């Protein structure tokens, strides 16, 4: 996903940084010389990942935040700019899998919850960093996309529909922002095999 040689001095906001791929990415980014801004809804996980980032040699700011809430996103972005002076990269990694059941049995609040995090959160966070990247004259947004957005597994329907939306959001943003030297890419995460690959 990243070349270490190009990370030194970069400021990276990483959502979903405290588990799985997100935690691994945070540590690898720190080893490459990036300054990290990590967020999670679970404070204990934040503390653990922040320690791992510091042990890997990285600077880190951590925030308890919900990416479905625009106020939380604004605070993270504002404090990133005041703390590090810029935002070079946003990695939209945070996502939830559930509810695991057929679409016909999903309640409205369950539907709203998964889309608020898996799709709306990606949109809101991207929207929040774009003005800063335009002002800088460069930037990069990376959206972690699931291969399930392209296949049919009925009990994971809500998740796969949201991730298909993220894939198309990525394509639209890439076209809209290329004139500003902002690159928008997607990386496939296969929730069944845990593999990540560029797309």
Could you give the residue numbers annotated as active site? 159
The Cα 13–Cα 91 span in angstroms is 6
- DSSP codes, 85-137: S---EEEE--------S-GGG--HHHHHHHHIIIIIHHHHHHHHHHHHHHHHT
Q: Nearest Cα to 123, choosing from 196, 161, 87, 69?
A: 69
Residues in a beta bridge with 92: 143
The Cα 165–Cα 92 span in angstroms is 13
The Cα 162–Cα 160 span in angstroms is 5
Beta sheet of 35-40, edge-to-edge order: 60-64, 35-40, 11-15, 89-92, 139-146, 182-190, 195-198
């Amino acid at each position: 996903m990243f070349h270490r040689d190009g990370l030194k001095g970069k400021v990276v906001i990483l959502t979903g940084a405290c588990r799985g791929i997100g935690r691994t990415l945070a540590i690898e980014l720190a080893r490459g010389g990036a300054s990290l801004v990590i967020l999670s809804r679970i404070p204990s996980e934040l503390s653990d990942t922040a320690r791992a980032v510091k042990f890997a040699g990285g600077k880190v700011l951590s925030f308890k935040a919900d990416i479905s809430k625009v106020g939380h996103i604004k605070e993270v972005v504002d404090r990133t700019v005041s703390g590090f002076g810029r935002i070079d990269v946003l990695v939209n990694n945070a996502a939830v899998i559930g509810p695991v059941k057929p679409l016909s049995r999903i309640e409205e609040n369950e539907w709203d919850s998964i889309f608020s995090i898996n799709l709306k959160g990606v949109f809101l966070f991207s929207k929040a960093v774009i003005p800063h990247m335009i002002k800088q004259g460069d930037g990069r947004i990376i959206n972690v996309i699931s291969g399930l957005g392209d296949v049919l597994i009925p009990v994971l329907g809500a998740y796969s529909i949201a991730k298909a939306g993220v894939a198309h959001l990525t394509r639209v943003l890439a076209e809209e922002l290329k004139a500003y030297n902002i690159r928008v890419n997607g990386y496939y995460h296969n929730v069944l095999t845990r593999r990540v690959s560029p797309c």
